[in-house]
Structure formats: C-alpha cells, structure tokens
Amino acid sequence: MAVNKKSDFDRLLAMGVAFLLTDRDIAYMLGYKPGTIRQKRYRNPASLPPSYLLGKFHRYVPDEVCQWLIDKLGMTLEQARRLVPVRQHRHDGDR
C-alpha cells in the first residue's frame, strides 16, 4: 500500500507538529534569492535568523524566526506570525 504524503502531512499539521523552515522559506520571507541567503550566512551570519545545520542543510525554527523578526526588524508579534509560513515549499532539501 502506497503512503499518501499529502494526507500524512495534513495529519501532522492537525496534530500541531511544527516543521522546520528551509533557506528557500527564509529567502521568500525576507525577499531574497536562496543563494543570497547562503552568501549572507557565510559573510554576515548575524544578518539572518539563527539556523541549525542538519546534515548539509540549514534549518530554522519558526518560533525563533518570529522572535528574530521582532528583535531585528521591530515587527509586532502579529506581523511576524503572518510572515512565517506554516508549510515548507519542498520536503527534499533546498537546492
């Protein structure tokens, strides 16, 4: 029996499981290209939200991204939560 990824994904969302964000998600939120995010991480990592290296990809915790938006950009909590996406764009890395 094949696994239906969409229904499994929706089931996890319904359970309240938070997914980690990718470079692509952060680039979309901040108005950059994903390559620019990688350059910024190398040249000036303080200009980006905190990330964790999982394997060879960096991932971001949505709550930490919200807090970073509030601290660095002066957003309100409501503005930051509207900007942070609920779903990832891809599930197989962010190349």
d(CA 6, CA 30): 27
Q: Considering the domain delimited by 19-83, tell me its CATH architecture.
A: Orthogonal Bundle (1.10)
More confident of the two residues 27 and 12: 27
d(CA 79, CA 75): 6
Using one digit for the tens of pLDDT, what is the confidence trace for 43-65? 999 899 999 999 999 999 888 98
H-assigned helices in 1-95 = 5-14, 23-30, 34-43, 62-73, 77-83
Q: Is the pTM of this model over 0.75?
A: no
pLDDT tier, 88 (very low <50, low <70, confident <90, very high otherwise):
very low
Query: What Cα–Cα distance (Å) separates residue 71 from each residue in 51, 84, 86, 88?
Result: 16, 15, 21, 23
Q: Where are the domains of the chain?
A: 19-83
pLDDT tier, 30 (very low <50, low <70, confident <90, very high otherwise):
confident
